Structure 1
């Protein structure tokens, strides 16, 4: 099956650093403006999911959730979690005090990949 989400080595390293400080984590990417357009990292349960938000995979064992409307728009794209060495738009995410920001690199799935995508998980209604 084709994964919907991957992460760079730089992102994996940062996730390990953050989880060493905070324990279990979760990621959320909303479709709003400013900080909502970049992935946010929270302590697990630190962000309240809306019903039918979509978990597209895991980063180092931690769920990566996407706003249900954003998923509908980007469901044909592969997400790759990456890191930039700059302070992001919002500052709510746990990597912000480290002077870093998570970001997503996107690419469109090929027609062949679309036929074999990993299933997603929906937040409870």
Structure 2
């Protein structure tokens, strides 16, 4: 199964820390304006999801793959942004710096960042057969369980999470 969103180990670690402080969390990929285009982390349910928002996936930030998670971390994006990014697997990562003004990680001196990689033709074909859920779908049917695993592989991490040299 191909996931539309993955997380790096540092992102999973920060999510666990934020959940210890704030309870379950959720993400919405911001579409710009005040905080640029960054993934915003909120207490779960604090950000109102629209009927046309798209659920990229439900992350499992736990380290123990043998234990079924009691909840997942939903990652949403607006429908119009999804139309632009639908050919790209998004990877939630963490870098040093100030987060968005409303995002929970701001006081930590870190910020969440989205990286991406273009799907292979085989992956895209699989995704085309499995359309994403919208806010309306989730309101009607509930949130799916987290995909496992949702951590990016070491090989993909090396490919996606490189720092460009100038």
Unpaired runs of at least 5, structure 1? none
Contact map agreement 2:89 2:119 (CA 8 A) in 1: yes
The aligned counterpart of 1:124 is 136
**What CA distance in whole angstroms lies between the structure 2 residues aligned with 1:29 and 1:36?**
10
Counterpart selection for 1:93 from 96, 99, 103: 103
How do residues 1-125 of structure 1 correspond to structure 2 at under 5 angstroms?
A: 1-60=1-60, 61-88=72-99, 90-117=100-127, 119-124=131-136
Tell me by how many angstroms 1:34 deviates.
Answer: 4.1
Q: TM-score, normalised by structure 2?
A: 0.70
Stretches (4+) displaced over 6 A: none
Tell me by how many angstroms 1:47 deviates.
Answer: 0.6
**What CA distance in whole angstroms lies between the structure 2 residues aligned with 1:94 and 1:36?**
16
RMSD: 1.5
Structure with greater Cα Rg = 2
In proportion to residue count, which structure has more strand?
1
Q: Could you say what secondary structure the match of 1:124 adopts?
A: helix
Give the length in aligned residue pairs. Answer: 124
Q: TM-score, normalised by structure 1?
A: 0.92
**What CA distance in whole angstroms lies between the structure 1 residues aligned with 2:93 and 2:39?**
10
